[in-house]
Amino acid sequence: MMKRKLHSPDIPQREALLHQIERITELPLLILSFAMIPLLVGPFFWHLSPEEESVFVALDVFVWALFAVDLIIKIVVTPKRLPYIKRHWLEVLVVVVPFFRPLRILRIFLFGSRAWVGARRLVNIDFLLVYGIGLVIISATIVATVEGGEGASIHSFTDALWWAVVTITTVGYGDMVPVTVAGRAIAFVLMLGGIAFFSGVTANLASFLVKGSDDSDDKILKLADEIKELKQEIAKLRQNKQD
């Protein structure tokens, strides 16, 4: 009992530190969750050379290590380890599921689920950033998987990634286009998603400018009130002096 009382003041500090770590790491880990999707899909569905597959595996291990270190640090910092593990069971599964090839599909599902759950916790510009990056990566992954046949201009993930960026930004060079029905369907979704993305960016920018203008107006009104009060004080002092 005495030991618990001595350490109880540390609990709020550790919880505050945990919240700070989560706030710093949430966005980078969320982007990495989306980045893991092509790394896991590629060796299954794309024609990779042995060198390319080695790069994919190395990146897979590197990203997994980042998630593992992040989870270990948070478990060490949190004052309530078991409730934290139960509450973040998805992050735990992402780390503990091994790299065996038969479980690769499960890992795709886990990282995709983590990306979706994490994105729902974000707001405003952070959400838009993740939304745009996730839309580009997922679209490029699907197009790289369904394209590549006869008459196709998209033959690799890098081609698909370039096409996705050009499409979502509505630049549309036309140097690479999907030729399959599935690829064109993804292109249609990506174009609509790009319109929604830049509409959101424009709305956030307008909101920021309006908020800045409102803050300036509030400061001016406050300054005017202070000047009015100062004039009243000066008038009272003059009246008292005359009396």
| Phi, psi angles (nearest 5°) of residue 9 | -65, -20
93 and 63 share one domain: yes
Q: Quote the CA–CA distance of 141 and 42 in Å, as a whole number.
A: 8
> Residue 243 sits in which domain range?
122-243
Same domain, 233 and 135: yes
Q: Domain end: 102, 121, 140, which one? A: 121
Are 196 and 144 within one domain? yes
Return the amino acid letter for 49.
S
**pLDDT by 10s per residue, the chain, length 243:** 444 444 555 788 888 888 899 888 888 888 888 888 888 787 777 787 888 888 888 888 888 888 889 989 999 999 888 988 888 887 888 788 766 555 666 676 777 676 666 665 555 566 777 788 888 988 898 898 888 777 788 888 888 999 999 888 877 777 888 888 888 898 898 888 888 887 777 776 777 666 655 555 566 667 777 777 777 777 777 777 666
Domain count, the chain: 2
CA atoms within 13 A on the CB side of 4: 1
Domain boundary among 86, 121, 156: 121
Distance CA 113, CA 201 (A): 25
Pick the last residue of a domain from 121, 147, 173: 121
- Distance between the two ends of the chain, CA-based, in angstroms? 72
* 160 and 226 both lie in a single domain: yes
pTM over cut 0.85: no
Q: Work out the number of other CB atoms within 10 angstroms of the CB of residue 47.
A: 9
Asked if 114 and 4 sit in the same domain, the reply is: yes
